[in-house]
Structure 1
């Protein structure tokens, strides 16, 4: 009986892993989560406060991932997501493509934003410009 329970639990864990957002990219390469991406950031030479390239950010999870993400063309612009669930959200939900600039409070399109690594866990912020980020830095 214990062997049967183990198989059911192991099967359930496998299913959870298979549907997890950060498990696989479109090409089948393993992805990292925000915490692991922050550890990888040393390889990319990005530190807290640095601007990071759009293609290294999952724009659904608002996280620096440390390696190129899946390109998602929407309305002539290219957004980036870490998995097929993120691709779907970026295609279907405008809210996943927009952010609020923490300095100005204005709504910004993530593609057009000045994206900055905010903490060691990989969280990014979207600013309408470098000047807006500089103002944010002075106030925080």
Structure 2
């Protein structure tokens, strides 16, 4: 009688272990499938922003490719906002609203070489050589060249 009870307990324990292993295996398979399906999309975002940035190294960046609030380059054209005789660009309605109302003086930037406040609508826009995810606004090509000399000498 004891042998039967012992065998039943062992069998029940084995069945429980088999179920647990089955759930672990199923969970592992689901994890692999999720990574296979969504992993490339996650990694591709970083690569896409690097590719976009690399296309603009040393070049003037078109106004319509920049969000003037966030200071970054966009893959698609941004939205135009005309204020008087100036044209600004933002990536979304929230940014356009900030530009329209000049929240925190967002229509202006400090030229990194001279410190002079310039209107972003009139600025020369270049890729930030220190942070390639961002742009810098310059008064002219001359001040951009000055900036490059400054950072290369450091």
TM-score by length of 2: 0.61
* Structure 1 unmatched ranges of 5 or more: 1-33
Choose which of 100, 109, 118 in structure 1 pairs with 2:110.
100
Give me the whole-angstrom Cα distance separating, in 1, the residues matched to 2:141 and 2:46: 25
4+ residue runs over 3 A deviation? 34-37
What corresponds to 1:86 in structure 2? 95
For the residues of structure 1 that align with 2:69 and 2:127, how far apart are their CA atoms?
15
Over the residues paired in the alignment, what is the CA RMSD in angstroms?
Answer: 2.2
* Matched residues, number: 105
| Higher percent of residues as helix | 2
CA displacement at 1:125 relative to structure 2: 0.4
Corresponding residue SS for 1:60 = coil
Instruction: Say if 1:114 and 1:130, in contact at 8 Å, map to a contact too.
Output: yes
Aligned position for 2:82 = 73
Quote how far apart the aligned CAs of 1:101 are: 0.1
1:32-68: CA deviation from partner (whole Å, max 9, x where unpaired):
xx967633416x8222x33201110000001111321
- Higher Cα Rg: structure 1 or 2? 2
